[in-house]
C-alpha cells in the first residue's frame, strides 16, 4: 500500500440497513478503524441490522450506533456505503437516508461505495458527471442518472471511491483509507465537486 495513512481523529459514518453484505460492511470498517478512525453504524432505526452472506444466507447482526435521521454530515469526516442487494434498496426508499447522502456529497468529504451501494447514490442524484464502478446490475441505473461507469476493481473520482464486488475489497479498502486521509475536496456552490 505504500506509505501508511493515518486516520486518527477521523469519524467515519457507515450507512447500512438489513440485507447488507457482511464482508462489505466488516472489511472496510475494519480497514478505517485499523488506520485510527472511529466508526459509527448509521441505519434507518435503532437496534440491530441483519447482515447477509452472498445476499441469501443470514450472517451476523450488528448493533446500530445512530439513526440516520438524527445525524448530520457535519458530525463525520467520511462516509462508507456497503452493498448487498436489499440494503441499498431499503436506504434509497428512506427520505432521511437519501437526504443524508445528498447532503454529505455537498460537503466534498470523501465517500466509499461498493457493489450495489450506488443505488442509494442514484436516488440521491449525486452520480451525475461522476465516474464510478458498481455491481453489473446497477450500471444502467448509474448511466441513466448521468454517471459514467467503468469496469475496474477500484475507481476514484474526486473523493468518491467505488468498487464492484467483494473480490475488489483489498483494493477498495486500501484506496478508501488513502482518500479518507486526504480529506475534503473543493466544492462548487451548486454542490458538484471541483476537479483536482
* Residue tagged active-site, from 116, 158, 173, 185: 116
- The DSSP annotation for the chain comes to --SPP--TT-EEEEE--TT-BHHHHHHHHHHHHHTT-EEEEEESSSSEEEEEETTTEEEEEEE--EEGGG--GGG-SEEEE---SHHHHHHTT-HHHHHHHHHHHHTT--EEEETTTHHHHHHTT--TT-EE---GGGHHHHHHTT-EE---S-EEETTEEEESSGGGHHHHHHHHHHHHHH----B-TTSPBPP-
Active site residue 116: yes
Say which of 115, 158, 173, 185 is annotated catalytic: 115
Q: Is 71 one of the catalytic residues?
A: no
- Residue numbers annotated as active site: 115-116
Amino acid at each position: 500500500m505504500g506509505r501508511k495513512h493515518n486516520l486518527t481523529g477521523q469519524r467515519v459514518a457507515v450507512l447500512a440497513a438489513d440485507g447488507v453484505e457482511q464482508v462489505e460492511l466488516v472489511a472496510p470498517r475494519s480497514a478505517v478503524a485499523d488506520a485510527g478512525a472511529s466508526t459509527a453504524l448509521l441505519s434507518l432505526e435503532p437496534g440491530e441490522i441483519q447482515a447477509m452472506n452472498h445476499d441469501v444466507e443470514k450472517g451476523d447482526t450488528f448493533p446500530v450506533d445512530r439513526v440516520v435521521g438524527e445525524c448530520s454530515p457535519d458530525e463525520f469526516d467520511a462516509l462508507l456505503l456497503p452493498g448487498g442487494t436489499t440494503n441499498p434498496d431499503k436506504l434509497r426508499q428512506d427520505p432521511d437516508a437519501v437526504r443524508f447522502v445528498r447532503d454529505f456529497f455537498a460537503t466534498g468529504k470523501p465517500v466509499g461505495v461498493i457493489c450495489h451501494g450506488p443505488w442509494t447514490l442514484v436516488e440521491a442524484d449525486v452520480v451525475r458527471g461522476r465516474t464510478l464502478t458498481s455491481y453489473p446490475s446497477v450500471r444502467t441505473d448509474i448511466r441513466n442518472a448521468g454517471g459514467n461507469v467503468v469496469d475496474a476493481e477500484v475507481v476514484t473520482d474526486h473523493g468518491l471511491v467505488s468498487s464492484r464486488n467483494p473480490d475488489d475489497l483489498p483494493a477498495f479498502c486500501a484506496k478508501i483509507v488513502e482518500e479518507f486521509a486526504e480529506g475534503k475536496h473543493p466544492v462548487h456552490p451548486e454542490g458538484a465537486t471541483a476537479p483536482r
